[in-house]
Amino acid sequence: CHAIVAGDGALADVCAQLRDAGLRGAAVVDCSARASDAVVAVSRVAANVAAGSMDVSGVLLKSNLEAGAQPAPAQDERPGAASGLKHGVSITEPCVGWEETYSVLEALAAAVKARRAATGDGAP
């Protein structure tokens, strides 16, 4: 069972409810509500993990090669209309780009290492 929490605001409450139900008290945090806030949201999650929180089992982040979004071609356009699209840019919702994604993943990895060091968990 996985619970997905929009942002980290309700994380503690959701995890408490999971534990009360006899389930593992950890949730995936959806940090992708707004691409402009995603890096800040993941930074807060990473800080909580580094401080020893076991409430986070993962994060959801909308990512692509390039940041932002672009409109999809209309369905009634001729074949080949997609050739005007920029490679690596979302046609659905705004995403963070590869550079931001890389730095976010580095921060999350460092947070997990810090938590493992603090708790004595030697897992790789």
Any domain includes 107:
yes
- Tell me how many domains the chain contains: 1
Helix axis angle, 98-119 to 35-50, nearest 10° = 20
Q: pLDDT digit string (tens) for 53-69?
A: 999 999 999 999 999 99
Q: What is the mean predicted confidence (pLDDT) over 2-13?
A: 84
Any domain includes 114:
yes
Any domain includes 87:
no
- Name the pTM for this structure: 0.81
> Confidence band (pLDDT; 50, 70, 90) for 33?
confident
Token pair listed for 94 = 């705004």
Any domain includes 88:
no
Token pair listed for 108 = 């999350």
Domain that holds residue 104: 4-62+97-119
If one compares 121 and 89, the residue with the highest pLDDT of the two is 89
